[in-house]
A and B are shown apart, each in its own frame.
Chain A
Amino acid sequence: MFHRIDYEQWTSLVPFAAFFVTFGVFVYFVVRAVRLSRKEAEYMAQLPLQEKPEFKDSDQ
């Protein structure tokens, strides 16, 4: 469909390059997440539950 130009050579490799780069980064973060210390993971997980409002009153 298109003139056979050099671009086509490397665009056919793009899916593979994309896959390996992405997969590499994914593996890195998996390893990093697994190595996250238990203490830190627990602290982070508790963050939404730390709010203990002192009191509430009318805004008006």
Chain B
Amino acid sequence: MTDGEKITIEYDDRTVRWFTLATVFWAVIAMLAGVYIAFQLNYWQLNLKLPWLTFGRLRPLHTNAAIFAFVGNMMFAGIYYSTQRLCKTRTASDLLSKIHFWGWQGIIVAAAITLPLGLTRGKEYAELIWPINLAVVAIWVVFAVNFFWTLVKRNEPSLYVAIWFYIATIVTVAMLYIVNHLSIPTSLTHSYPVFAGVQDALVQWWYGHNAVAFFLTTPILGIMYYFIPKAAGRPVYSYRLSVVHFWSLVFIYIWAGPHHLLNTALPHWLQALGMCFSLMLWAPSWGGMLNGLLTLRGAWHKLLEDPVLKFMAASVTFYGMATFEGPLLAIRGVNYLSHYSDWTIGHVHSGTLGWNGFMAAGMIYWLVPRLWGTKLYSTKLADYHFWIGFIGILLYVAAMWTSGIRQGLMLNAVNEDGLGLKYAQFVETLTGVWPLLLFRSIGGTFYLIGFLLLVYNVVMTIRAGSPATSRQEVVSWNAPEPKARPKLMEFIEGDPFAATIGIIFSASIWMLGGHVVEWIGLGLTIFFSVIAVRRFKKDTQFWVDWYDRLSENWMPFTVLALIAVAIGGAIQIIPTVTVNRAHNIEDRIQKLYSPLELAGRDIYVSEGCYNCHSQMIRTIMPDVMRYGDYSRLGESIFDHPFQWGSKRTGPDLAREGGQRSNTWHYNHLINPQMQENSIMPPYPWLEEQKTDLKALPKKIGVLSKLGVPYPAMTKHEIQQHAIEQGMEIAESMKGDGVLVDHESKMVALIAYLQKLGQSEEPGDNPAEAAAAELTAQLEAAREAKAQITLSQQP
């Protein structure tokens, strides 16, 4: 095939159809799960005393289904459709497309089975167990190969901005996913993350925040930049603005993760970084929103009759609202009130229901008639969908905003003398927001009903048509020979690149260097700046070419995008991982979990308790008044994974240990409603199921490898210690008439809850001190067991 030759392209729309149908199917599942768990918060009886239907296990199913199944499939449908058209070529490999599709659905099914079974890593949006994680990575690689191979085969020299957003998505999600899922398995279904405590918290929210950025935002922005012009029949308002939007978003977003950890034990410099970059995000986000909306200039009248544009315009508006609210919530003072409250839930849902959900609906209504070669079955039904869904979102977010602010104010309210809390019982605040939680559930139901109208509309449209194939005549274009194309070295040796690196390097010396060195750095910065300006004046075209070639050459573009996002992560994570370690702790260091307490912790994670209970007393007065002294960084330094949480539907548990008796915990877990108005589900199966004590030696071995300073113990010792401690706890409850198996999960969980918040002075060798403390504790348990045995002898 030679350049300029006319060829006919037959697009692979079969893959797009499959992903579109999968989007519709999984959207319903995700929304059903969401509505169900929302009602559970009003009517705890809906937990049905079944382990796999509790809020703690279903909430991860809901979030994973919404993010990876619903938006994931939608994203793939949009990317496969638009990339082929923008590159004027068929997707590189039908086989890879098939592997991608079926592999992704297999992953979703595996997640839908394992999460209700309580198989989880205990990190939000990163709950899937390690074998599924490996499958995700493999399938993502298949997708990436297929995508980049398509770019290589393209017949269009320029890469439209939507493709840039897709590239950023592919490389960044890969990086985020791999780093946050680094784990060491202890069995086929269980693993411990390599990071612990504050390190794990930082990595988790670097991932969690950017999962929103690069899974729920950048690909959808790419879809926006493709489908809105298509639907409106006019080009994007400003291509220049889209360029600025892309680069600023990619550079800034990656830094903002720590705003999820404001006022916590996270080092202050990271909190400052997270807040500053979050505020900076206002500009690119609103630039993108305005660009999307202004694309409709001159076509506003179409909104009245075209449901596609209606959904897309509303979607972009919700994007603007959510991205205004996000930085607002990232201000430390606002976060003081909003964090751990429903306000965050409202924020997230204005993004997922409004931005993602409505863009998905608009795209589906646009795609389905074209993919099946017919007209949309009913525009009127689509209109109903829009208005019912719109009212649903408004009800949802308004209820959550009100609930969050009300609960936040109630939790922080103090008596007139300022010495005590006005609402001392956490449950009082929960009762205060009960009607708002119900409004949220109703709003969610409205949204689901609207989406079911889409399902009906799609089914009827498909029945009226048949799968269609789209062909297009294009002018062939072969990428120039490598000699003529810019190589990586050419970029590195080029003046723009060299001057930029020189400026960054010397400015770093200037800022970070000592007395003399900083002056050298300043001199070098001026030198490289002068060089850059002179070269720019002398050879402007070279600079222009440099960028133009970049926009046509996916390889260096991808490398640059990866560097852009990797810098943000590295500057935050590397100092945290190297500095914030146990041997540097001065203040307090966590006492090690005994084998039984560790087993109890795994049960806590498995039941998803972290979905409602935090373990982080913030550095704010109301938190300290309610829960005790603020949490120190060292107090969770050995926690794999960290359990700081992100939402308090129940009270914080950071200092729960020792506050109540074992019997109280037993009674509470069997019947949480012993506390009036509690909405916590009961956990009767914990009494019936046995703790897997045999797994403990492997688990402790893995934790030791990860740096938890466990003293040397044999397998037998580990299991024996667990049994002895279990007997001690079971024995302690006998006097209250509670007879429970000492090997039951109930006893292990109680052991863990009683350990929460226990720490000690680190001394000169914190790790040694922690190990010695555990050895003493185990000895004490052995003695207690001996006394129990003695007292039982006739």
Chain A residues with a Cβ under 8 A of chain B: 1-3, 5, 7-8, 10-22, 24-26, 28-30, 32-36, 40-60
Contacts and interface: CB of A to CB of B under 8 A. Distances in A.
15 contacts: A1-B632, A3-B584, A13-B512, A22-B277, A26-B251, A30-B244, A33-B240, A34-B240, A41-B238, A44-B160, A48-B85, A49-B233, A51-B85, A53-B471, A60-B466
Contacts of A5: 579, 584
B330 to A, nearest CB: 14
A36 B471 CA distance: 32
Contacts of A47: 86, 156, 158, 160
A59 B503 CA distance: 57
A53 B579 CA distance: 59
B704 interface: no
Contacts of B493: none
Interface string B561-580: 00010011001000100111
Interface in B657-689: none
B267 interface: yes
Contact of A48 (B82, B467, B633): B82
A22 B439 CA distance: 42
A50 B240 CA distance: 19
Contact of A7 (B230, B251, B575): B575
Given A48-B82, A56-B470, A60-B466, A15 B269 contact: yes
A6 B547 CA distance: 39
A50 B9 CA distance: 14
B472 A2 contact: no
Nearest to B578: A7
B585 interface: yes
B507 interface: yes
B472 A52 contact: yes
Nearest to A47: B160
A54 B272 CA distance: 56
B110 interface: no
B767 to A, nearest CB: 14
B323 to A, nearest CB: 17
A36 B240 contact: yes
Contacts of A32: 243, 547
A3 B512 CA distance: 20
A18 B503 CA distance: 14
A11 B255 contact: no
Contacts of A25: 247, 251, 564
Contacts of A50: 88
Contacts of B580: 2
B783 interface: no
Contact of B269 (A12, A26, A51, A60): A12
Given A26-B247, A44-B239, A45-B235, A3 B504 contact: no
Contact of A29 (B244, B373, B633): B244
Contact of A15 (B161, B229, B272): B272
Give 3 nearest A-B pairs by CB, closest first: A59-B467, A45-B235, A33-B243
Nearest to B467: A59
Contacts of B472: 51-54
A35 to B, nearest CB: 7
A40 B235 CA distance: 13
Contact of A13 (B239, B240, B511): B511
A58 B374 CA distance: 11
Contact of B86 (A10, A16, A43, A48): A48
Given A3-B584, A14-B269, A60 B467 contact: yes
Contacts of A60: 466-467
B462 to A, nearest CB: 12
Nearest to A6: B579
Interface string B268-292: 0100110011001000000000000
B759 to A, nearest CB: 13
